[in-house]
Structure 1
Amino acid sequence: MISKRLAFIFPGQGSQVPGMGKALYEENSIFREAFAQAQQALPFDLKDLCFNGPKETLDNTVYAQPCLLATSVAAYRTLLSHITVQPVFMAGLSLGEYSALTASGVFSLEQAASLVHHRGRFMENAVPQGKGTMAAIMGLDTAAIQEACDQAIGSGIVEIANYNYAGQTVIGGEVAAVRQAMELCLEKGAKRAVELAVSGPFHTSMLKEAAIQLENYFKDVAFGPWTVPVISNFRATPYETLEEASNLLVQQVVSSVQWEQSVQYMISQGVDTFVEIGTGKTLSSFVKRIDKTCTTLQVEDPASLEKTIQCLEEYQHADK
C-alpha cells in the first residue's frame, strides 16, 4: 500500500468550455481512441463541439453531459496508461458520478455516453424553460439556508440542491421562491447570493419527471462490476451492490448532491490526495476548502497530466 491514498474525482456540468480536451486529443492516441468510442453512441459531432463550441450549444444540458463525460473518461484512460498506482475511491459531482462509474467499469464508454445524452434530455424537458432556477449561497450555514427555504415555500418550491462545502451551498426550485430565499439568506447574514446561469432547477423535486424517465431507461441498461469503489452523491458513501446502482442514480436527479459529505467520507477513510480528471479545477478548490491539508492534482491538458504523473511516481517511489 502506498503512503498516499488517492481518490480520482470527476467534474460535473458547468465546467464545460470550448476547447476542452483538444490538447490531450492532439498529443495522445489513447485519448483519441476514447473519443472515437464515445462518438459511436452520439448523434452529434463530439470532437467539433468540445473543441470549437459554440459555447451556447455546449452549455445545453443535452450536449454538455456527454461532452464532459467523454473528456473525463478519455483523460482518465490517458492518465492510467502512464501510472501504476491506483485510487482507493472514485467520485464525481452530479454528472461526474457517471464518469466515475464509467472509469471504474460499471458502464462502457459507449453505454455511458448514450446514457447521459438521454439523461440530459430528460432533465432539460422535465421543467419548462424559465420556470426554475438555481442560486449559490456563500457564507451562511446550511441550517440557516434551510430555514430560508422553508420560509420561502409560500412562493413555490425551493430546496437545497448541492452541499459543495461549508461556505457554499446551492439552492434550486421555482424562480420566485428561489429569489425570495436568496433575499432571506442575505438578511440572515449570507455574504453573497448569486443566481446561476442554468437551464433548470437540477437536484430538486421539480425533476421528478426526469427521474421517472431515467428509471424506465435503466430497465434496459446492464451494470458491470466496479474495479474501484465509487461514492454515491445521494448518500455520500460507496455503492454496495450493483442492484442498488440504478436506484441511487435515479434518486440523485431529485436529491441534494452531498459533495462535502462525500469528500469528508473519503478523508475519513485515509484519502489525502485528490486527482481531478476532466475540465477545470472546481472540485479541487472545493476539496481545499473542505480540508486545506489535502493535496489536489488535475488532469485536463498535457502540462497538468505530466505534473500529475510525476507526482504520482514520486509517491510510489517514496513508499518503496
Structure 2
Amino acid sequence: MKTAFLFPGQGSQAIGMGQALAEAFPAARAVFEEVDAALGQKLSRLMFEGPEAELTLTANAQPALMAHSLAVIRVLEVEKGLDLARDAAFVAGHSLGEYSALCAAGALNLAETARLLRIRGDAMQAAVPVGEGAMAALLGAEWELASEIAREAAQGAVCDVANDNGGGQVVLSGDKAAIDRACAIARERGVKRAIPLPVSAPFHSRLMAPAAERMRAALADAEIRAPQVPVVANVTAGPVSDPEAIRKNLVDQVCGSVRWRESMLWLGASGVTRFIECGTGKVLTGIAKRLVAGSDAVSIGTPEDVAAHGD
C-alpha cells in the first residue's frame, strides 16, 4: 500500500487552527514559535484568536496554513514515529500547500518556507488593484468545458483556468469583467452553478505575472534541497525531485493552473491507495476519495485526529 501526504491551500484557514495541537504537543508549539520568529510576528496568536479578517489576508493565511500542516507532521514524527522517507511514496500540496509539501519533505527549511510564503502572499495581493480581478468556481463543469467558456469570455481580457479540482469543480481567474461574462456563459451552457469567489486577487492567472517575477527573485536566493520523497507539482501534475526543477515550478505556479485532478489521478495510477491530509480542513480528503476509487483518505489536524489516524 502506497501513501501520499497532502497539504491544503488557501481557503481552508479558520480561527483556532492549530491551537489544540499546540496545547497538547510541544512539537507543535515549537513549529509555531519558529514561524513566529521567522516572520517577526505573532502569527500563532492570530491563528488561535483572530480576528478573522486579518487571518484571511493572503499574506497571513498562506504561512498560517503551512505552519499548521508542518505542526501536524512534526507531531506525527515525535508521537507516532513517522518517517516521511520511509512511510510516504509522494507528497503534494494545493497551491501554497506545495510549499508545505516541500518543507515536510525536507526540500525547504521551516523558517525559509514561512518567509517565502509571506513574500508570495504580499506579491500576489499587490499584483492587481483590488476590485480589478476576480475568480469564480464552475460547479458541474470539467476542464474542457471550462476552458471553452474561458476562451469565449475573454474577449481580449484575461480569463484563465486557475484550478482543476476534479469532481466537476473548475475555478476561473482573471479580469473581473471577463469572469462576470464567464459566469453568464456558464449558465447558458448548462453548468450547474457559477459562483463568484470571495478572494482578494485573481490567483493563478496571467494577471499574477508581477508576483511571479517577485517569486523568481525570492526563490533565486532560497536554498532548495532534493526532497526525501518526490513532490507532485501543481503545474506539471507529475513528480519532481530536482531542486532547480522545483525552483522553476514554484515560479510557474504563480500564474499557472493548479492541476489537482490530474495530480490525484496520477497518484492513483502510481499505486497510491492511502491519502493523509495534514493541517486545516478536509477539502483534499474529499477530493481524493472522489477521484481515486477505493482509496482511504483521512485528515489530521487536531489531537483527536492524531490519536485516531496517526499510526
TM-score w.r.t. structure 2 length? 0.96
Hey, what's the Cα distance between the residues in 2 that align with 1:161 and 1:277? 23
Distance of aligned partners of 1:223 and 1:103 in 2 relative to their CA distance in 1, 3 Å threshold: same
Hey, what's the Cα distance between the residues in 1 that align with 2:17 and 2:182? 35
Deviation at 1:192, TM superposition (A): 0.6
The residue aligned with 2:20 is 23
Hey, what's the Cα distance between the residues in 2 that align with 1:87 and 1:150? 39
Checking the alignment, whether the CA contact within 8 Å between 2:231 and 2:241 is kept in structure 1 is no
The residue aligned with 2:153 is 152
Deviation at 1:285, TM superposition (A): 1.0
The residue aligned with 1:11 is 8
Checking the alignment, whether the CA contact within 8 Å between 1:298 and 1:305 is kept in structure 2 is no
Hey, what's the Cα distance between the residues in 1 that align with 2:220 and 2:156? 37
Three-state SS of the structure 1 residue aligned to 2:161 is strand
Three-state SS of the structure 1 residue aligned to 2:245 is helix
Hey, what's the Cα distance between the residues in 2 that align with 1:238 and 1:145? 26
Hey, what's the Cα distance between the residues in 2 that align with 1:308 and 1:71? 17
Three-state SS of the structure 1 residue aligned to 2:195 is strand
Checking the alignment, whether the CA contact within 8 Å between 1:277 and 1:300 is kept in structure 2 is yes
Greater Cα shift, 127-136 or 282-291: 282-291
Instruction: Map residues 167-246 of structure 1 onto 2, 5 A cutoff.
Output: 167-246=168-247
1:74 to 71, 74, 82: 71
Q: Is 1:48 aligned to 2:45, yes or no?
A: yes
Checking the alignment, whether the CA contact within 8 Å between 2:142 and 2:166 is kept in structure 1 is no
Deviation at 1:74, TM superposition (A): 0.9
Deviations 1:223-255 (CA, angstroms, capped at 9, x unpaired): 122111111100011114112111110000000
Hey, what's the Cα distance between the residues in 2 that align with 1:239 and 1:155? 35
Hey, what's the Cα distance between the residues in 1 that align with 2:99 and 2:137? 23
Deviations 1:100-139 (CA, angstroms, capped at 9, x unpaired): 0000001110110111011100101001001111111011
Checking the alignment, whether the CA contact within 8 Å between 1:155 and 1:176 is kept in structure 2 is no
Identity %: 38
Deviation at 1:292, TM superposition (A): 4.1
Q: Which runs of 5+ in 2 are unaligned?
A: none
Residue identity matched to 2:71: A
Three-state SS of the structure 1 residue aligned to 2:298 is strand
Hey, what's the Cα distance between the residues in 2 that align with 1:90 and 1:203? 21
Q: Which runs of 5+ in 1 are unaligned?
A: 313-320
The residue aligned with 1:316 is none
Greater Cα shift, 71-80 or 10-19: 71-80
Q: Is 1:102 aligned to 2:99, yes or no?
A: no
TM-score w.r.t. structure 1 length? 0.94
Residue identity matched to 2:114: A
Three-state SS of the structure 1 residue aligned to 2:290 is helix
Residue identity matched to 1:263: M
Greater Cα shift, 216-225 or 49-58: 216-225
Hey, what's the Cα distance between the residues in 2 that align with 1:249 and 1:222? 13
Residue identity matched to 2:144: A
The residue aligned with 1:315 is none
Greater Cα shift, 291-300 or 69-78: 291-300
The residue aligned with 1:83 is 81
Residue identity matched to 1:189: G
Residue identity matched to 1:12: G
Checking the alignment, whether the CA contact within 8 Å between 1:162 and 1:258 is kept in structure 2 is yes
* Runs of 4 or more consecutive aligned structure 1 residues displaced over 2 Å after TM superposition: none
Residue identity matched to 2:21: L
Greater Cα shift, 213-222 or 23-32: 213-222
Residue identity matched to 1:266: L
Hey, what's the Cα distance between the residues in 1 that align with 2:115 and 2:228? 22
